[in-house]
Amino acid sequence: MSRSARTDPRAPPAVAVVGGGAVGVTAAADLAARGADVTLYDRSTLGAGSSGRAAGVLYDAYAEDVDAALAARAIERFRAFDRSLPGFSFTPCPYVIAVREGDADAEAVPAMVDRMRAHGRAVSVVDPEPLGERFPIATGDLAAAAVAENAGWCDPASYVAATGERARREGVAVQTDTPVSLAGDGPELLVGDADRRGAGRGFDAVVVAAGAHTTDLLGEAGIEVPVVPYRVQALTAGLGEAGSAGGEAGSAGYDGPVVYDEPMVYDATAGVYLRPHPTGLLAGDGTEPVPADPDGYDRTGDDWFVESVSATLRERLDVVGPDWAADPTGPDVERAWAGLCTATPDGDPLVGPVGDPADRVFVAAGWQGHGFMRAPAVGELVAEGVLASLDGIEAREPASPWIDAFDPDRFDGDEEFDIAEGMSVERRSGE
């Protein structure tokens, strides 16, 4: 046990959380719930970063032990918040991972599923024919598939808004439209005009959960982390009017949009996922595996992305029967957008103490496309980890909640690496 990092151990620890995305709001609420005096800063509005642009696909189908445990805890919390968090709902829905014939990844599916099952996840290999009998999706072109049962979807913006309210109820001071920079030594923040040196406010600890801006923000304090933003895309599409297809079709008196009410599907060969959405369905991926400028990237979806996703939807959902399945111009895309994910050299996030002194500044970033679904568990981990660090428990002690595999110190910070797409079967199978 080392010294306590706190300036006044009798007072509640003063913690600044920088970044009001899903991770930051959860960490802020959970820190306050554990007695910390928390200020949450966002340069814009809550959810203005990646969290407000995410697809809201949620599952616990991970092949590594810590990932599986964290994701399982996150789904457990999503389910609990569905019952307890006003303004938030979680919709359970199986998640199908499908690999087409001719794709070498098909061979990796059984090993991937074995590893997920070894960590207690409810995932099974399902042959294409029975898969097609269970769900009305096209399976004739598939070589292998798996179904994850503990999965679902939600509206990410509503999670951030509802958790922001939970944070306020727990006593968090929420400061939006407030850009923050790390100034000088230690966790002194410069709040407001980032060029006005000398107006900093001191905290016992600062949590940096600034998404795609994390590298720049920590860089101001001389802390280098290899967290690189890259662009991904999503769209929503209509399925026509009630009566033509989908979950609400045939409901007596229903005259709203037809909603795709079948499983979420990740077509791994096409690199496209889809899920139900209140106006039809939501689909995405469209990864651009090159670094993106967090202040200057194109926020609208590319034409190539819309075209390739539309083609996949026509192929994969032809048996669902929406009007557009046989129409080479369909579906009716309502909105296509882009946002940023963050990559790291090994695909694992950076979560824990960083820099010097290492028990005062903490980072939570680098989710490789899976930050939203893990946010309820990561926020909780950050809250417990920060408070343990402030109590003098060092990160590598057995009593520390920090996860070794996510230790920010495993990198020098100046690594050069290729950005790898986060959802691939190869990545998840450990092959």
Positions that interact with ligand FAD (CB under 6 A): 18-24, 41-44, 48-51, 53-57, 179-180, 209-213, 217, 232-234, 284, 339-341, 365, 367, 369-373
Nearer to ligand FAD, 259 or 325 (CB): 259
* Cα-based angle 41, 174, 349 (whole degrees, multiple of 5): 45
Please answer whether residues 163 and 22 qualify as being in contact, where contact means their C-beta atoms are separated by less than 8 angstroms.
yes
Nearer to ligand FAD, 20 or 128 (CB): 20
Nearer to ligand FAD, 138 or 282 (CB): 282
Shortest gap between Cβ of 187 and ligand FAD (angstroms)?
A: 14
Please answer whether residues 226 and 417 qualify as being in contact, where contact means their C-beta atoms are separated by less than 8 angstroms.
yes
Nearer to ligand FAD, 226 or 240 (CB): 226
Shortest gap between Cβ of 338 and ligand FAD (angstroms)?
A: 7
Q: Label the pairing between strands 264-267 and 142-148.
A: unpaired
Shortest gap between Cβ of 209 and ligand FAD (angstroms)?
A: 5
Nearer to ligand FAD, 234 or 403 (CB): 234
- Token pair 């070894």 is at which residue? 118
Shortest gap between Cβ of 153 and ligand FAD (angstroms)?
A: 8
Shortest gap between Cβ of 421 and ligand FAD (angstroms)?
A: 12
Element (H, E) at 29: helix 22-33
Nearer to ligand FAD, 226 or 339 (CB): 339
Shortest gap between Cβ of 213 and ligand FAD (angstroms)?
A: 3
Nearer to ligand FAD, 49 or 347 (CB): 49
Shortest gap between Cβ of 217 and ligand FAD (angstroms)?
A: 5
The type of residue at 244 is S
Shortest gap between Cβ of 328 and ligand FAD (angstroms)?
A: 25
Q: Label the pairing between strands 123-125 and 142-148.
A: antiparallel
The span from the CA of 271 to the CA of 286, in Å, is 8
DSSP string, 157-183: HHHHHHHHHHHHHTT-EEE-S--EEE-
For 424, how many CA atoms within 13 A lie in the half-sphere containing its CB?
A: 14
Nearer to ligand FAD, 181 or 429 (CB): 181
Q: In this structure, how many other beta carbons lie within 10 angstroms of the beta carbon of residue 7?
A: 11
SS3 (DSSP) at 111: helix
Please answer whether residues 286 and 234 qualify as being in contact, where contact means their C-beta atoms are separated by less than 8 angstroms.
yes
DSSP conformational letter for 397: S
Helices (H), 221-355: 303-316
The type of residue at 333 is V
**Residue positions counted in the chain:** 431
